[in-house]
Structure formats: structure tokens, C-alpha cells
Amino acid sequence: MFEILEKKSLNPFVTMMKISAPRVAKKAEPGQFIILRTDSAGERIPLTIADFDREKGSVTIIFQIVGSTTEKLNHMNVGDCLCDFVGPLGKATETEGLKKVAVVGGGVGCAIAYPVAKKLHEMGVEVHVIAGFRNKELVILENEFTAASSKFVIMSDDGSAGEKGLVTDALKKLIESGEKYDRVITIGPLIMMKFVCQLTKEYNVPTVASMNPIMIDGTGMCGGCRLTVGGETKFACVDGPEFDGHLIDFDEAMARSASYKTFERKAHENTCNLFKGVE
């Protein structure tokens, strides 16, 4: 069983947990993910590895409470155990040969961006991080990003945190000021990544986007996580989750991701009703 070692609320909608999973921690790398189940009757959900400690045998996950399983997970506490915690899955972020990188994260996607920025920084790469949030209340990992980058820019929709505007505004400003990046790595909402990739394509900056489509088994068998990349079908769980952002069909990916929104919302409501009066 996989014990919850630590639990912390990062904002009203996002929770961080450290899980005892020595075998996963031993082989985990930034960019990879796990699939968990809260109980034997629960659904399988993928969550990106936000951090890991090989010596302590722990893996950190950060999740947004949006559906039934994340609601159940958020009601678990330190000392409780997850039924399954499988990984690491997917391909690790390619980091070799890079000297200067811009990491662009949005919302809870910043939890995925952090381990990538951290590893690059530890390798001696010059890392510029741009993190976007709707408002100050939703900002996460500010201290961690400050420590893992040489330049850290926060953008918010309403200007209550950092600068007012979009992550693309900040990225364009940096590029036009003369910053020359070997690569841009973007992680966050699909619509955000689409426009980041459109911008970097204009400036001929190689860009990698981390995709998190609908996923079931995480082994490439179900086909639920299929994407079109460069006109070819790819599976995020085994071919990714990172792909050349200039080749991804983002419109198709957004249409597929929206197909279960109504079901997810209803399942979340039903789960919330189960927990009413419990606490």
C-alpha cells in the first residue's frame, strides 16, 4: 500500500501530497507521470510526478480538484493509503545539450513545470520561468520556482500577482528583448499551450508541449490518449507526454478533452454529496 506521508493545500483548489513509493521514486524523472487508484473500486487517473526523493522513497503529486477521484483523493489524509500508485510512466523530459530554456507554465500545470525547471537549473542551464494564474489566490510554488530559475516572471489575469497579462505577453517581451532560447517548454491549459506554440513558431524557437489528454491504462493499449502530431497518431502515455509543440493539432486535442466534461462535472457533484456531513 502507498501511504500518504504529507498533505498540504496550495490554494483552495489544488492539493499537494507526498506518497511513500520507493520503487517509483528510484526511477522517476521530470516529465513522467503515475497512475493511481484511491481504492479497489476506484477509477485510474494519471498525475504528473511533481517531485521525488530517492533517499526517502517519496513521490510528490499535485492535483486540482475537478472530478470524482480528485475529490475522493482530497478527502484522504496523512496515514491513509492509496490502493495503486503505478509508475514512472511516459518519457522523461529531454534535457541534454540545453544551455538556456524558458519554462512556461499555467495554473496547476506549474506543478508539472517545476521538476523540469528544477532539474535544468541543477544541471547549470539558465532557466527563465514564466508562470500564469488567474489571480493571486491561485498562485502556487512561488518560492520553489524562485529557487529553480535565474529569472521568474508571474503573470495574472487581473494583475493581483506579478504583472497583468498573459504568459505569451511575457514570453514575447523576453524574446524581443534579445533573449535567445535553445528551447521553450510549455505546460498548462491546452489553449495556453496552443498560443505559446504559435508565438514561438513565429520566432523559430523550438518548443515542447506537455500533453495530458484523456487516459485510461497508461500503456498505449486503450488509445484514449491519442493525439495528432505532425499528421500522425501518437499516444501521450507511451510516445509522450511531451511533443513538438509546433506539430500538435491543438484544436483536435481540445475537442477531445471537452467530450467528457459534462460527465466529469456530474461525477464530481455526486462525490461531493457523498462527503456532505462527513467532516
Looking at residue 147, its pLDDT comes to 95
Q: Provide the grid cell at 42.
A: 476506484
Q: Domains of the chain (ranges plus CATH)?
A: 2-89 (2.40.30.10), 100-210 (3.40.50.80)
Residue carrying C-alpha cell 524562485? 146
Helices marked H in the chain:
22-27, 68-74, 110-122, 142-147, 167-176, 190-202, 236-239, 250-257, 261-275
Long-range contacts of 162-171 (CB under 8 A, 24+ apart): 166/132, 166/192, 166/195, 167/104, 167/105, 167/106, 167/130, 167/131, 167/132, 167/192, 167/196, 168/192, 168/195, 168/196, 168/199, 170/130, 171/102, 171/104, 171/130, 171/196, 171/199, 171/200
Measured distance CA(188)–CA(174) in Å, rounded? 19
Q: Provide the grid cell at 180.
A: 535567445
Looking at residue 42, its pLDDT comes to 87
pTM confidence score: 0.86
Q: What percent of the chain has pLDDT over 90?
A: 72
Looking at residue 7, its pLDDT comes to 96
Could you give the 3-state DSSP secondary structure of residue 224? coil
Cα-Cα end-to-end distance for the chain = 24
Per-residue pLDDT at 198 exceeds 70: yes
The mean pLDDT of 251-264, rounded to a whole number, is 76
Per-residue pLDDT at 271 exceeds 60: no
Looking at residue 240, its pLDDT comes to 87
Looking at residue 101, its pLDDT comes to 97
Looking at residue 267, its pLDDT comes to 57
Closest by CA to 48, choosing from 218, 229, 252, is 218
Q: How confident is the model at residue 275 (pLDDT cuts 50, 70, 90)?
A: low
The predicted-structure confidence for 10-43, as pLDDT tens digits, reads as follows 998 999 999 999 999 999 999 999 999 999 988 8
Looking at residue 269, its pLDDT comes to 60
pLDDT mean across residues, the chain: 90
Looking at residue 268, its pLDDT comes to 53
Looking at residue 212, its pLDDT comes to 84
The mean pLDDT of 188-207, rounded to a whole number, is 96
State the CB neighbour count (10 A cutoff) for residue 265: 13
The mean pLDDT of 250-274, rounded to a whole number, is 70
Q: How confident is the model at residue 88 (pLDDT cuts 50, 70, 90)?
A: very high
Looking at residue 34, its pLDDT comes to 93
Q: How confident is the model at residue 224 (pLDDT cuts 50, 70, 90)?
A: confident
Which residues, 6+ apart, have CB-to-CB distance to 86 below 8 Å? 24, 34, 35, 36, 218
Per-residue pLDDT at 279 exceeds 60: no
The predicted-structure confidence for 36-84, as pLDDT tens digits, reads as follows 999 998 888 899 999 999 999 999 999 998 888 899 999 999 999 999 9
